[in-house]
Amino acid sequence: MYRCVFAVVLTIFGSIAAADADISFQSPSGNIRCDMSRDAPLAVRCDLGVDQQTYTRRPATCQGRWGTSFGLNQTGVGGLICVTDTNAAPEGRRVLPYGRRAILDGITCRSERTGVTCTNLEGGGFEVRRAEQRVF
């Protein structure tokens, strides 16, 4: 569970403010898909659409996909998520151009040519890209 830090939501393009919007976006390559939400246990979830994984040791408790989904709350560190659903459909997702940010309640996701990095106000987060992934 997470608590609200900011009441203003900035859209992917940084020009429109909304009070209750969720944000879904994908990287320009389409390999990274992210959902930012106030209604989920995680404030942001990003899925990597390639099979090259940095984290390959699946926990015994994970009966789903492991190593390609990352999550972050408003506080604490980022982490890997064991998922049984799919976040693959690009329909309805805007492309977050390289060099742009999506911001929701204190979490910022930045799109760069090297991948997507999401951080919270405490400095926790994750970085996902085709070649490697890391949590911090």
- Please tell me whether residue 60 adopts helix, strand or coil conformation: coil
pLDDT at 7 over 90: no
CA-based nearest residue to 135, from 72, 42, 86:
72
Contacts of residue 53, Cβ cutoff 8 Å, sequence gap at least 6: 67, 68, 133
Q: What is the pLDDT of residue 13?
A: 35
Average pLDDT over residues 16-41: 79
Model confidence, pTM: 0.80
